[in-house]
Amino acid sequence: MKSRFREKLDKGQPVIGSFVKITDPAVVEIMGLAGLDFAIIDMEHGPISFETAQNSIRSAELVGISPIIRVSENDPVAILRSLDIGAEGVEVPQIRNAKDAQITASSARFHPQGDRGVCRYVRSGRYSSMDRKEYFRTANEKVITIGHLEGIEAVKNLDEIMAVDGLDILFIGPYDLSQSVGVPGEVDNPLVIKQMEQIIESAKKANKLIGTFADDITSAKRWIDAGVMYIAVSVDVGIFYNACREIATSLMK
């Protein structure tokens, strides 16, 4: 059965989610109950461990939100461990060229599409209760690979990155991109916007799905209108801070 996430993308509809840094799995559960399509469990920035991530994945499955793990680096072991504990997909930082893209795509899939480490005695294989042939076949069909384009090197090598089979979504990291063009943190700077727009247009021509991060709803709408299909809006800690700040500034004199 396809996830809501997959069904929407197959219909050409954008999917909406957010990053998760808080370790309590209730956060992912709440995001799902609120109607978001995916949660990016962030193991690159923040305190989340694989054990914590596994419980957040369980919460995601309860409420129909797709659990994506952002690994700390483009490492085959980190990718296979994320998928072994049940992540629907992996989001991988610093994809700079075709070689990086190929490592991600291959590490996330079993033979013949890739060379993911093989073990069915894991949560994704239902701890060996799942038929082995079905497990290895369906795992390849269901997995989602997302590669971060975060610097000028990736932009220069965009055509060769897009030519790699098995990288499902190209994710523009606006903050790292801003640093790469010399304006760190200025994600609305024309230099950053220009690079992002060029990537999106190139991806459209190549029939590739593009994702990105937006600090707020206004920015998210802008990029959806531009053709972004996978949009991560803010981060759980930022969402909570803004809600608390609104209460404090509105009611406290």
Q: What is the per-residue pLDDT across 151-187, written as a single tens digit (0 to 9) for each?
A: 899 999 999 999 999 999 999 999 999 999 999 999 9
Q: Which residues pair with 67 in a beta bridge?
A: 39
CATH of the domain at 25: 3.20.20.60
Q: Which whole number is the average pLDDT over 140-156?
A: 94
**Total domains present in the chain:** 1
Closest CA to 28 of 48, 45, 12: 48
Closest CA to 114 of 123, 101, 97: 101
Q: Which residues pair with 92 in a beta bridge?
A: 147
Q: What's the whole-model pTM score? A: 0.95
Q: Which whole number is the average pLDDT over 16-35?
A: 98
Q: Taking the mean position of all CA atoms in its chain, how far away is CA 15?
A: 11
Tens digits of residue pLDDT in 179-201: 999 999 999 999 999 999 999 99
User: Are 38 and 6 contacting, i.e. CB atoms less than 8 angstroms apart?
Assistant: no
- pLDDT of res. 231: 98
Tokens 């997302």, residue located:
146
Confidence of residue 130 (pLDDT cuts 50, 70, 90): very high
- pLDDT of res. 127: 97
> Structure tokens of 77?
């072991």
Q: Which whole number is the average pLDDT over 7-31?
A: 97
User: Are 80 and 116 contacting, i.e. CB atoms less than 8 angstroms apart?
Assistant: yes
| Cα–Cα dist 142/145, whole Å | 10
- pLDDT of res. 2: 78
| Cα–Cα dist 27/33, whole Å | 10
Q: Domain limits at 154? A: 4-251
